Structure 1
Amino acid sequence: MCKDSRFRFVYHYRIIGLVYMKDKFFLMHMMPIVRAHIAIFDENGNVKEQLSESREEDLKLYSEIIKKSRKDFPYIILIDTSVVVCVMWNEPEKEFIVIGKTALYSEFENRNQDILECPKDTYTSAIILIWNKLTGKMIGKGDLWTKNIVLDDSVSKFITENIFEYQENGKLHNPYAQEQREHDSIRRGDIEGLKASINEVYPGEIGKLAENQVRSIKNVAIAVITCASRCAIEGGLNAEKAFSMADGYIMYIEEEMNDPVEIERVVREAEFNYARDVHDLNRKNIKNPLIHQVKDYIFSHIHEQLMVRNIARYIGVSPNYLSEQFSRFEGVTLKQYIIDEKIKSSEYLLKFTDYSLQEISSFCAFSSQSRFSVYFQRKNGITPAKYRKMYQKGKK
């Protein structure tokens, strides 16, 4: 071998070694993010290197897993409830990178077995980043989970049996057209149309979503409220407000309610509230994007002290111009609108939480509890304390 050839040979392997060291350095610093041990195996399933010390039984498990894991994408294996292991085949190095046991939800964390939680979204982003770093290939979040989701025979069997039962017993679901009319009423802010669609009589029935009756009704409620929120957004309602309303209703149903009749009442209340909000938007016929910006900002910062000059600075206009435009389009001053929105927020807290009046006053960023009470009574005709008692009495 000539001198130049030897130089090229040594230089080539130094470059490979440098790249490998960079990958190893990268993986070591990804471990605290995925909160899992990372180990490297050769193509026969033998441990080449541990970047942190894994349990012996885990290494044996990984060695078995990788025998079926030579995929062209990050292969995620569910080994227990919400506990996963990810295997990546690194073709150039002829090795497997194994990202050890990780719990995707905190309820399934088990520190005794070295299983720590990494939130699913964080885990997903980390896996995509590692895959790209090691292979140069890109994969999207949707593709990552789609490629790793395969319905086993038991799931397919359950679905087939459920369809067969409906066919055998002559069961019908509520008509799709009726559901569409309900959704369209919310989308258009048509309160009377919503009433009519809900009052329709039809031969079908609401689907059964769980064996336990209350659980099934809660599942239906979650689906209805979620659909209603999306319809309201399509009708022009601020997305953040629609999502927050849905979260509030769903959390309340999940944690506070077990009476099927009361659950249905709250679901209908949610649908009508969405329809009313869209109706109000349509009635005002807001076409000024400046007003939308202001309302979005106020909604997102409702628990902060809101000043006209600060909102104007954020949007990039003068305070006088902003106040004039808002009053012209809304028929109310910007200051009064801010107060009204804070009172609305406080009403929700009084109804659905046990926070003290002082805490609610602070959350809504009123200058004092007494000032909060004055504004509240001016709008509702009663004090915050009486409002809470009235609502709680109505719940019993």
Structure 2
Amino acid sequence: MGLLQEWFLHETKNSEEEMEHRPQNEEINFYRAVSSGDMDAVRRNCEQNRFTDTEGVGTLSRNPVTNLKYHFVITTAFVTRLCVEAGMEMEQAFRLSDFYILKLDNLYTAQAVSALHDQMVLDFTGKMRLLQKNIGTSKPVTECIDYIYFHIKERITVEDLAAHTGLSPSYLSRLFKKEIGISISDYIREKKIEKAQNLLKFCDYSLIEIATYLSFSSQSHFIQQFKKIVGMTPKKYRDLNYCTVWNTTANKKPDTAAP
């Protein structure tokens, strides 16, 4: 039987059974809630278990768990692209997407897939909510933020950013502080410490390895800056937070820190 004939028979069967998909506006409203940072709406959707509700949803596999995984990938793809359109840095969005889709490999129950879905959409929504605070930044400042995110492991200077944006260091510094509220160096420091927090939570890297990875001048300098921003030493932070978030999937720790 050819594919065309097979499709015709499949379509006829679905018509006879009066199978209908959910109204598209519900799906669109959900994706918009994620990309706009509407945490209440997204959390409400998760609490209602709409992701695992099969009524009005296409069947992509006869295996229920595989079917759910396929829908997870589709949801993640849509969320990723809408978040990029709404202002999320593209590299961050696709890294986040890849991270969550790869987590599917080790999941074998519908409950685990559903839990990861909720974590994924809430993660994207939270990042978009924070991003809304920076909407309205000029192109040079946005380019700086993207550059810092992509090169966070390196030693980044104002001169690097000035060369990247084509502006003078002094003008760029004034513009950045006016729009973001803090200096470029303070922003870079905060972003490096945020990355360090994730590494301390989800990885086994030693303090010296983290300090080197993030291009701090020394381990002592890293500890000093971490304590200044977070209010405690890196060791104490790890003792309090190590692997406390990833409790919805298997016992395996993430291979890399979450972005």
User: TM-score, normalized by length of structure 1?
Assistant: 0.53
Q: Which amino acid aligns with 1:318?
A: S
Give the superposition deviation at 1:345.
Answer: 3.0
Cα separation, partners in 2 of 1:386 and 1:157, compared to 1, 3 Å: farther
Aligned pair partner of 2:212 in 343, 352, 362:
362
Please say if residues 376 and 384 of structure 1, whose CA atoms lie closer than 8 Å, have aligned partners that are also in contact.
Answer: no
Q: Which residue in the other structure is 1:390 paired with?
A: 244
Shift of 1:154: 4.7
Structure 2 gap segments, 5+ residues each: 252-259
Deviations 1:200-227 (CA, angstroms, capped at 9, x unpaired): 9789343332233322222211111111
Task: Give me the whole-angstrom Cα distance separating, in 2, the residues matched to 1:160 and 1:369.
Answer: 66
Unaligned runs of 5+ in 1: 1-152
Corresponding position: 1:334 with 2:188: no
Contact 1:291 1:326 in 2 (8 A): yes
Paired position in structure 1 for 2:89? 238
User: Is the contact made by 1:376 and 1:383 (CA closer than 8 Å) also made in structure 2?
Assistant: no
Aligned residue for 2:242, secondary structure, equals helix
TM-score by length of 2: 0.76
Instruction: Quickly say closer, same or farther: Cα 1:172–1:309, change in 2 above 3 A.
Output: same
Q: 1:369 to 1:237 in 2, by over 3 A?
A: same
Partner Cα distance (2:11, 2:201) in 1: 42
CA distance in 2, matches of 1:393, 1:282: 29
Matched residue type, 2:80: S
Letter in 1 for 2:139: P
User: Per-residue CA shift, 1:11-30, capped at 9, x if unaligned?
Assistant: xxxxxxxxxxxxxxxxxxxx
Q: Is the 8 A contact 1:357 1:385 kept in 2?
A: no
Secondary structure of 1:383's counterpart equals: helix
**Higher RCO structure, 1 or 2 (CA under 8 Å, sep 6+):** 2
Assess, with a 3 A threshold, how the Cα gap between structure 1 residues 350 and 176 changes in structure 2: closer, same or farther.
farther
Amino acid at match of 2:112: E
Q: Residues 74-89 of structure 1: matches in 2 within 5 Å?
A: none
Which residue of structure 1 lines up, in the alignment, with residue 25 of structure 2? 177
Please point out which of 103, 116, 120 is paired with 1:270. 120
Q: 2:150 aligns with which of 292, 300, 310?
A: 300
For residue 184 of structure 1, report the CA deviation from its aligned partner. 1.9
Describe how 1:1-396 pairs up with structure 2 within 5 A: 154-157=2-5, 159-160=7-8, 162-196=10-44, 199=48, 204-254=55-105, 256-350=106-200, 353=203, 355-377=205-227, 378-379=229-230, 381=232, 382-384=236-238, 386-391=240-245
Q: Give the residue type in structure 2 aligned to 1:332.
A: I
- Going from structure 1 to structure 2, the CA distance change for 1:203 and 1:309 (only over 3 Å counts) comes to closer
1:231 deviates by 0.9
Query: Which one has a bigger Cα radius of gyration?
Result: 1
Q: Is the 8 A contact 1:373 1:384 kept in 2?
A: no
Q: CA RMSD in A?
A: 3.2
Whether contact under 8 Å (2:200, 2:237) holds in the other structure is no
Instruction: Give the C-alpha shift of residue 300 in structure 1.
Output: 1.7
- Give the superposition deviation at 1:368: 3.3
**Matches of 1:161 and 1:365 in 2, distance apart?**
62
| Separation (CA, whole Å) in 2 of partners of 1:356 and 1:156 | 59
The Cα of 1:295 is off from its aligned counterpart by: 0.8
- Residues 237, 281 of structure 1: 8 Å contact kept: yes
Relative to 1, partners in 2 of residues 1:190 and 1:264: Cα closer, same or farther, differing over 3 Å?
A: same
Provide the C-alpha distance between the structure 1 equivalents of 2:196 and 2:143, rounded to a whole number of angstroms: 22
Q: CA 1:394–1:155 in 2, change beyond 3 Å: closer, same or farther? A: closer
* Seq. identity, %: 24
Structure 1 CA distance for aligned equivalents of residues 223 and 172 of structure 2: 28
2:112–2:248 CA contact under 8 A, matched in 1: no
Change (3 A) 1:282 1:155: same
SS of 1:284's equivalent? coil
Q: Report deviation, 1:348.
A: 4.2
